[in-house]
Amino acid sequence: MTGLRRFLLDLTPLRKDRDYRWLWSGQVISGMGNQITRVALPFQVYVLTGSTLAIGALTLFQLIPILLFALGAGSLADAVDRRRLLMITQTGLATCSLALVILALGGQPAVPALFAVAFVAAGLGAVDSRRAPRRSPGSSPRNGCPARSHSTS
């Protein structure tokens, strides 16, 4: 069994640390929502417009805030409490997802409204991605499990 154990994922941090479990679960849910949005939003724009050019414009609307906010977001992540930044960006991204659901359920959503939500979500995502590479102290399990990330600088 010990030979097989090297090939299996070590779930000790998830079993032992409740706060880490919450963080990990939230990141999994957020990541799944992000990936669903990456597929559904361009599909919805294409269904509404029938234009691949509109999908290109959507991509441009998502690229602009990334270019605008990504450089400053690294400095922001270093200057403020990362847990608070995590809460703000994740809440904003969840709100954007909720706005997309409301637009979709409302019938025929206005394409400019979809573009506006995509713009805001991309900006929040740019800030959130600058926060992610460095884990804040306390975001990893406290017990020093070998499975935890060691990049705390």
Structure confidence by residue, pLDDT tens digits, 122-151 = 999 888 876 654 454 455 555 555 554 544
pLDDT (tens digit per residue) in 74-116: 788 788 888 888 889 889 999 999 999 999 998 889 999 999 9
Helices in 1-153 by DSSP H: which ranges? 2-5, 12-16, 18-49, 52-79, 82-105, 111-131
Q: What is the pTM of this model?
A: 0.75
pLDDT of 151: 43
Burial per residue of 86-99, b for 16 or more beta-carbon CB atoms within 10 angstroms, e otherwise: beebbebbeebbeb
Angle between helices 111-131 and 82-105 (to 10 degrees): 160
Query: Using CA of residue 74, residue 79, residue 83, residue 89, what is the dihedral sign?
Result: negative
At 91 the pLDDT is 92
Q: Where are the domains of the chain?
A: 30-131
